[in-house]
Amino acid sequence: MKIVEQDLKKGIVVVKIQSYDDCWHLYNIIEPGDYISGYTYRSVQQAGDKIRKKKGEKERVYLKIRVTDKEFHEFTNRLRIRGMIVEGSEEKAYHTFNIEPDMEIMIEKEWKDVHLKRLKEALKKHPKLCVLAIDDEVATIAIIHEYGIEEIANIKLNRKGKMYDGNEEKNYGEILSKVASLELPLVIIGPGFEKENFVQYARGKLKNYIVESTAHAGMVGIKEAIKRGIIEKIDEKNRVAKEMRVVEKILEEIAKNGLVAYGKEEVEKAIEMGAVEKLVILNSMVRKEEELLKKAEEMKASIIMVSDLHEGGEKLASLGGVAALLRFQLS
User: Would you say the CATH fold of 245-326 matches that of 2-121?
Assistant: no
Q: How many Å apart are CA 221 and CA 96, to the nearest integer?
A: 39
| Side chain identity, residue 111 | W
According to the CATH classification, is domain 2-121 in 2.30.30.870?
yes
Q: pLDDT tens across 123-165, in order?
A: 876 667 899 999 999 999 999 887 778 899 999 987 544 444 5
Whole-model pTM above 0.85? no
- For the chain, the domains span 2-121, 129-233, 245-326
Three-state DSSP class for residue 78 = strand
CATH architecture of 245-326: 2-Layer Sandwich (3.30)
Asked if residue 116 lies in contact with residue 28, where contact means CB atoms within 8 angstroms, the answer is no
- Taking the chain (331 residues) in runs of 10, the rounded mean pLDDT of each run is 93 91 87 95 64 64 95 76 93 93 94 86 77 95 84 82 55 92 92 93 88 94 89 68 90 95 95 95 86 89 87 93 94 73
Q: Which residues contact 7 (CB under 8 A, 6 or more apart)?
A: 13
Measured at the alpha carbon of residue 84, what is the angle toward residues 12 and 43, in degrees to the nearest 5?
Answer: 110
- Mapping DSSP to helix (H, G, I), strand (E, B) and coil, where does residue 133 land? strand
CATH of domain 129-233: 3.30.420.60
pLDDT value of residue 73: 76
pLDDT tens-digit series, residues 92-121: 999 999 998 899 999 999 998 888 888 988
The 8-class DSSP code of residue 299 comes to T
